[in-house]
Amino acid sequence: MENLTRKILIALVLGVIAGLLLNFVSDTVFVFLDTYILTPVGQLFLNLIKMLVVPIVFISIALGAAGLKDPAQMGRIGGKTIGFYIVTTVIALVIGLSLAFFIRPGHEGIFDTTNAEFNAEEAPPIMETLMNIIPDNPVSALANADMLQIIVVALLFGIALAKLGEKTAGLHKLLEQGNDVMMFLVNFVMYTAPYGAFALIASAVGDAGVQGLGQMLMYMLTIIAGLLLHAALTYSLAIKLLGRASPYHFFKNFFPAITVGFSTSSSSGTLPISMRTAQERLGVSKSVSSFVQPLGATINMDGTAIMQAVATMFIAQVYGVELGFSQLVMVVLTATLASIGTAGVPGVGLIMLTMVLQQVGLPVEGIALILGVDRILDMLRTALNITGDAACAYIVDRSEKKKSGTLEKG
């Protein structure tokens, strides 16, 4: 793993360099290289890992639920997890808003907004997503990779297995073997990660263009500062105080998964790797990891929340709109819902941003200004998104082990 992480990091650095160099070739050459080499290689890698997501999530949650000793434990883990997710998202938003307030990345006059155009895609209504959590057809839930629905079906399936015990031992065994096959495949797919990472970052940097990056520098730096602060303060303190463990140990061991989250820009896509990393390198038990991390990859997006907070302030500043206190509270509320509703796939955070902007009456066209650099920011925020899920799994696992008296020093 160590070796592989190093290779991915080298691939990322080379990818950035290649992407920057691509700014100096002619448009035709760039389009050719991007269309026939970079994008296909990146896409093949993304498909390879995405292919594993649905079976892994289903099998591991079902096994996790089947393995839980008492039903009360499930409720307790669920409560702690959702509590952690909501509180950290709100903190992330406050960090994003405060930084954007003080740094003022969108101070008046940096953009001419007369030509800004953006066709807003309809953001899916949150209530509908929540109501649809119980699928009327489990097969279509699996076929459509609807994570929340899959989580529910798998939990019910696992609970039934636990209740039926010996009677369904064969099925239980089958799932365990399925899990082994999946883990084997994750290992295999990881070997292709450096190539995928190189192609994805080179294409993203090449696309954004050096000029575009320059003009958006303050906006990007504000978001990056928010992401770093949230990891260094919120997660570290939570791990230290709630998990009674070393943040350094956590970040060091989870780092390989962070590089994959960064490369793929997809929390869901990274799940196979982030779950395996948390289980094998942080010692998080399978039952906790397989519930907490898929749930987080679906509803917990602190990095996305930070982007949405900064973007909202940025657009308000560019258009010279002063947001009052009650509007800021509105931003926190809607952005919390928007980040819950953001699917863990590339670029969705930006679509959900429309919901926040509309709520406080800001022009949705403002999104056109940040579109160009969003691919790169998507990589960074996804890295934080999956880190938050793993931090939660680590903390919840340790508190469960403490309760049962099996906690080792972390």
Smallest distance, ligand ASP to C-beta of residue 223, A:
11
* Closer residue to ligand ASP, CB minimum distance, 266 or 285: 266
Is residue 96 within the footprint of ligand ASP (CB under 6 A)?
no
The residue of the chain with the least Cβ separation from ligand ASP equals: 349
Residue 78: C-alpha distances to residues 84, 225, 397 (Å): 10, 31, 12
Out of 88, 277, 300, 385, name the contact with ligand ASP by CB under 6 A.
385
* Closer residue to ligand ASP, CB minimum distance, 81 or 342: 342
Is residue 388 within the footprint of ligand ASP (CB under 6 A)?
no
* Closer residue to ligand ASP, CB minimum distance, 5 or 265: 265
Out of 231, 295, 301, 392, name the contact with ligand ASP by CB under 6 A.
301
* Closer residue to ligand ASP, CB minimum distance, 129 or 304: 304
Residues 329-368 that bind ligand ASP (CB under 6 A): 342, 344-349
**Taking CB under 6 A as the rule, which mask of x and - marks residues 237-266 in contact with ligand ASP?**
----------------------------xx
Is residue 289 within the footprint of ligand ASP (CB under 6 A)?
no
**Taking CB under 6 A as the rule, which mask of x and - marks residues 45-74 in contact with ligand ASP?**
------------------------------
Is residue 42 within the footprint of ligand ASP (CB under 6 A)?
no
Out of 207, 378, 397, 400, name the contact with ligand ASP by CB under 6 A.
378
* Closer residue to ligand ASP, CB minimum distance, 179 or 265: 265
* Closer residue to ligand ASP, CB minimum distance, 345 or 369: 345
* Closer residue to ligand ASP, CB minimum distance, 68 or 307: 307
What residue ranges bind ligand ASP (CB under 6 A)? 265-267, 301, 304, 342, 344-349, 378, 381-382, 385
